[in-house]
Structure 1
Amino acid sequence: MSYRTLEPGQTARIHIHDARTGEDVVIHESDDVLFEAPNWSLDGSRLLLNGTGVLWSLAPEAGAQPAEIVHDGLPALNNDHVLDPGGEAIYVSAMDRHIYRAPLAGGAVERVTSDDDVWHFLHGVSPDGRRLAYVRITSFDQPGTLAVLPATGGASTIVDTGAGHIDGPEWSPDGDWIYFNSEHWASRPGHAQLARIREAGGEPERLVVSDTVDWFPHLSPDGRRAVYIEFPPGTEGHPADLDVALVVVDTADWTAPLERLPLPGGQGTINVNSWSPDSTRFAYVSYPYGG
């Protein structure tokens, strides 16, 4: 597995969308680096994205230029990375299957996981910073499972979500729920739907019943809104380069979208939570062809 690159004639566009007004601004375009999966820093001063296997910092304003954050001993990254709630570090999933804790200022990193025969795809850090939620995969022909481990490393706990592949687990801001997408209710391959479950386990709760393939539910820091990515019916997995949509909802009613944003994208668009600290905006990446 290696980092993704742009196809000939393709561009990576980094957007910031205002959930109050609907204003959508492209702050940076690149035909060299396939940027993915923006996070928003705790102080609101920058976005954190991966591209070419490394982490980049970008001011959230039009015309900003990305700067690489240089780390020592960090293998090539994928697009699963989540900020430590303390604001000084970020947890990242790397191509060697492991999760690392990396300072946002750059420098030496710490490896968190120890199981070499397991893929650890990180998606959530608990609000108190003590636990990490990740997708545990032992073989790509088997469903991924929800696992939680201490942020300092150690033994993982499997959270039973029932049958079916899961992805994108992250905590609600109050720490009461883990939100994710699941094929638990699928009547055809790949039919992921949005769900949540208590960390201690129990029956998963389906949030939306739809014919589309719905991934990566991300709640705003105040818990009032969420955004997720909607793939076309019949999609299997979360591939790149499709006509998809971002769906914005009020978390009091996931069945009544506030906005739908069609775009060329998929993989890399919004794999991790990218809400601004004040819950007004979110960042995402589109991948158009032909300018």
Structure 2
Amino acid sequence: MRGLWPGQQCEVWIASATGALDLAYSTGNMLLEAPNWSLDGSSLILNGDGKLWRLGLADGSLAEVPVTGVPALNNDHVLAPDGKTIYVSADDGHIYRAPLAGGPATRVTSDDGSFHFLHGVSPDGSELAYVGIEAGDFTRAGRLVTMPSDGGAAAAVDVGPGHCDGPEYSPDGKWLYLNTESFSTVPGHAQLARVRPDGSQFEQLLASGTVDWFPHLSPDGSLASYVRFPAGTQGHPADLPVDVVLVATDDWATPLQTWPVSGGQGTLNVNSWSPASDRFACVAYPGREQPAAEPEARRHPGH
């Protein structure tokens, strides 16, 4: 489980489509990751110390969401469209469903020999999209999988041989957006892509020299955010100089805004857009930035 290094800070920021970047919360006591924005617009849901936390945007209060019956959580958690349910990935490799107000969690994935890392819930709430890691072996490529949100048979979606991550549904449910190494022979060179849920029309969104992860569409579908790692990065490690990037979904090649931060892992792992599609949240971790060329393990448990 990740924690802050001595002298390191955790900063939760709100990025605006206008270019503003406003600090919502800062702490040197706990490493928070991967904000989701609540459907009522009042708070962010983050993970830290294996638990879920609610950050009130009006007063900056941080309170635990008391989810029970689940192992320590990682940074893959997504809100259901009803605004009352959250799906979470835990360190036992399974996905659970829990009330966003707190309460007992229910496991939805089966013992199929894989670790399951959730990233998407369909707009109608009926389906989940996740990354499957066979036998929890992080040297193996992650595979794109969908399944019914209440449990049941999983279906693989073919996006080539390269490692993929971050699959989430478009607001209309017609696409899955993700990052993948299938368009390159260079190890770790993730690029942004999309595919139909039935596996058809797999296509690259942006061809770049950087390592691009976690595309997140705004609720109205007009904008997207993603995190850009330095060229040569393998996996999505922590504590690197990265860029949080904003684009229009009709032109992925032309950034509308770019914000350099110290981060990577935990900065933008899940969709963090506001319901109004005008802002999104991200996390920075200043105080222990590594050189971009420092070697890192290829895969990073916690996803």
TM-score (norm 1): 0.96
Q: Secondary structure at the match of 1:254?
A: coil
* Secondary structure of the corresponding residue to residue 252 of structure 1: coil
Partner of 1:179: 177
* TM, length-normalised to structure 2: 0.93
Q: 2:45 aligns with which of 45, 48, 59?
A: 48
Partner amino acid for 1:5? Answer: G
One of 59, 75, 79 as aligned partner of 2:71: 75
For 1:111, the aligned partner's letter is: R
Match of 1:120 in 2: 116
Q: Does the 8 Å contact 1:97/1:116 carry over to 2?
A: no
Aligned partner of residue 269 in structure 1, secondary structure: coil
2:15 maps to 17
Which amino acid counterpart does residue 20 of structure 2 have in structure 1? E
The residue type equivalent to 2:40 in the other structure is D
Aligned to 1:277: 275
Q: Which amino acid in the other structure matches residue 49 of structure 1?
A: L
Equivalent residues in 2 for 1:28-177 (5 A)? 28-61=25-58, 64-115=60-111, 117-138=113-134, 139-177=137-175
User: Shift of the alpha carbon at 1:187?
Assistant: 2.5
Q: Deviations over 1:122-144 (max 9, x none)?
A: 00000000000000001222110
CA shift at 1:76, angstroms? 0.4
How many Å separate the matches in 2 of 1:78 and 1:216?
16
Per-residue deviation, 1:202? 2.0
Q: Distance in 1 between matches of 2:112 and 2:66?
A: 25
Give the SS at the match of 2:160: coil
Do the aligned residues in 2 keep the contact of 1:161 with 1:203 (CA within 8 Å)?
A: no
Q: Deviations over 1:202-258 (max 9, x none)?
A: 242100010000000000000000000000000000000000001100001111110
Does the aligned pair in 2 maintain the 1:77–1:92 contact within 8 Å?
yes
**Equivalent position SS for 2:208:** coil
**% identical aligned pairs:** 59
Matches of 2:76 and 2:14 in 1, distance apart?
Answer: 19
Q: Does structure 2 conserve the Cα–Cα contact (< 8 Å) formed by 1:98 and 1:116? A: no
Q: What is the identity, as a one-letter code, of the residue corresponding to 1:103?
A: P
Which residue in 2 is equivalent to 1:287? 285
Bigger drift between 108-117 and 137-146 goes to 108-117
Q: Where in structure 2 are the equivalents of 1:236-255 lying within 5 Å?
A: 236-255=234-253
**Contact 1:192–1:214 (8 Å) recurs in 2:** yes
Give the distance between the partners of 2:70 and 2:251, measured in 1 at CA: 41
Runs of 4+ in 1 over 3 A off after TM superposition: none
Q: Which amino acid aligns with 2:23?
A: V
- Take 1:65 and 1:30, find their aligned partners in 2: how far apart are those partners? 12
Mean alpha-carbon deviation: is it higher for 105-114 or for 125-134? 105-114
Over residues 81-137 of structure 1, what are the superposed CA-to-partner deviations in whole Å (9 max), with x where a residue is unaligned? Answer: 000101101000000100000111111111111126211000000000000000000
By how many angstroms is 1:278 displaced?
0.5
Moved more, 208-217 or 63-72: 63-72
Aligned-partner Cα distance in 1 for 2:127–2:115: 17
Gaps of 5+ in 1: none
User: Could you tell me which residue of structure 2 aligns to residue 227 of structure 1?
Assistant: 225
CA RMSD of aligned residues (A): 1.0
